[in-house]
Copies of this chain bind each other. A is one copy, B any other.
Amino acid sequence: MLDAGLHLLADQNLASLGVREVTREAGLSPAAFYRHFPDLAALGVALVEESLASLHIMIRAVLAEAGGAEELIDRAVDVIERHVREHRGHVRFLARERHGGVRQVREAIDAELGRFAAEVGAALAPQPESRGWSERDLRMLAELYVDHMVSTAAAFLEALETDPAREQRIAATARFQLRLISLGRERWQAG
């Protein structure tokens, strides 16, 4: 049922999805839907959890890897690119519903992205570049990274669906921007 929903949401949007539509795609009767979810919003929230599970794994993979800033950036962008390609449906769903029409889903996504930022912040803390940073500053830096990751993922997705040749350009742009942020971070203490 979740798969059916996700498949429909490829070119639709949660608020415009219909109960009958989902059950038809799943090969079930309309009434069967209510055996599993009270609402379409509930199905949306379930999809959020499913979508962010794999994303969570991805982020941990990047954070776990030690190494210099350069290699870390390259690796992060690569992982994002691959993740978008391998979980296209999930990424599209998240991008589309993050500011979409269903409040419960919006809030679920935002809460989870907030947790990501906290996790990134925690991983940043022990690094030598973070010496002297307040927790607040670290959090704001982490949010910048997370927002940038989201933007990059959305750009990859759009490229994948319209002009795949653009992928390289997006990857190069993302790396450049991350390097810029990294430089600013190193210089912050001096300011």
State the A residues within 8 Å of B (CB). 11-13, 15-16, 92, 95-96, 98-101, 103, 106, 110, 137, 140-141, 143-144, 147-148, 150-151, 154, 158, 172-173, 176-177, 179-188, 191
Contact = CB atoms under 8 A, between A and B. Distances in A.
Count this chain's copies in the assembly: 2
A100 B14 CA distance: 10
Closest 6 CB pairs of A and B: A184-B184, A13-B101, A16-B16, A183-B184, A180-B184, A15-B16
A94 B121 CA distance: 30
The A interface is mostly helix, strand or loop, or mixed, namely: helix
A39 to B, nearest CB: 15
Nearest to A95: B99
